[in-house]
Amino acid sequence: MKKLSALRDEVESWRSLNQRVNDGLELAQMEDESLHAELETEIKALEAEIGRREFSAMLSGPYDRGDALLAIHAGAGGTDSQDWAEMLQRMYLRWCELRGFETEILDLTEGEEAGIKSITIAVNGPYAYGYLRSEKGVHRLVRLSPYDAAHRRHTSFALVEVLPQVEDAAEVEINSSDLRIDTYRSAGAGGQNVQKNDTAVRITHLPTGIVVTCQNERSQMQNRENAMRVLRARLLEIKQEEQEEQLAILRGEYTKAEWGSQIRSYVLHPYQMVKDHRNDFEVGNALSVLNGNLDSLIEAYLRHSMGNGKAP
């Protein structure tokens, strides 16, 4: 029903756009000078709408229309990297807020002194995965460290993972015999029930060694359901990567993604700049990007990927 409703909305929106174009053509054919201002306004509005739809057409992957799971992991570098991971958390939450997407924190591990070690966020909204998959990779920050007594410049790294939320359980088969499920007391905030009872859940998928944890909900059942959501998404990613790897090997272009190559750099000192290394697109106002204004970077990446004839 959810897919049917989305398709109906899309068909109706295209019919509405088609009608607006036809109405505009009728106005143009009337050759009434008093209608010129109205016609010019409508033409500009139609061009802007077609531009938005052109951008949406880039999001044509099998999971692009759906929801996403966003995970952020602090890299090596101690407190600075953990603080950087929290800055990325804030950036993506602000971006989701600006887009009207719903977010839910499924799992959070805080840093010892500041920041976070890792976080998993469910992002729900139209095309959430299609937009966010451009963010997958290592993000690098260059700044004067607030945690260095000498206030020297530091470079910090964080890994961003983006997974599609799997709605159809049949897409990924999970045998209960392949799972080891442990429960323990949550280490985070959440009230006495979370603190005193074994509400946190850790699920280990024995064949792959994947471990997922969820501890932010007040009940063990909710945490278990959320952990299974994350596990299904990770298993789907492995399945997709294996298929892509096989195709890439056949094409003779396979290179494994490693920690060593960042996709984007955020420089706060000695100047401000955000640069995407995949397409050399730059934004001069780094603070604006960190406040959630990511659309220009996302759009530039998608357009660059389409221009190269590759799936973004």
Alpha carbon distance 39, 24 (integer Å) = 7
What is the mean predicted confidence (pLDDT) over 27-47? 85
CA-CA-CA-CA torsion sign (58, 61, 64, 70): negative
Q: Please tell us whether the domain made up of 68-169+259-307 is placed in CATH 3.30.2090.10.
A: no
What is the tens place of the pLDDT at every residue in 53-110?
887 778 888 889 889 999 999 997 789 999 999 999 999 999 999 999 999 999 999 9
Look at residue 196 and tell me whether its pLDDT is greater than 80: no
Which residue shows structure tokens 């531009």?
A: 51
What is the mean predicted confidence (pLDDT) over 192-212? 80
Q: Which residues partner with 163 through β-bridges? A: 69
Domain residue limits, the chain = 2-57, 68-169+259-307, 170-251
The CATH number that domain 170-251 falls under is 3.30.160.20
> CB under 8 Å, gap of 24 or more: what pairs does 195-204 form?
199/223, 201/227, 202/227, 203/179, 203/227, 203/228, 203/231, 204/179, 204/180
Q: Is 17 exposed, middle or buried (0-12, 13-18, 19+ CB in 10 A)?
A: middle
Look at residue 141 and tell me whether its pLDDT is greater than 90: yes
Alpha carbon distance 172, 189 (integer Å) = 32
Question: Residue 28: helix, strand or coil by DSSP?
Answer: helix
Look at residue 118 and tell me whether its pLDDT is greater than 60: yes
Look at residue 179 and tell me whether its pLDDT is greater than 50: yes
pLDDT at 215: 87
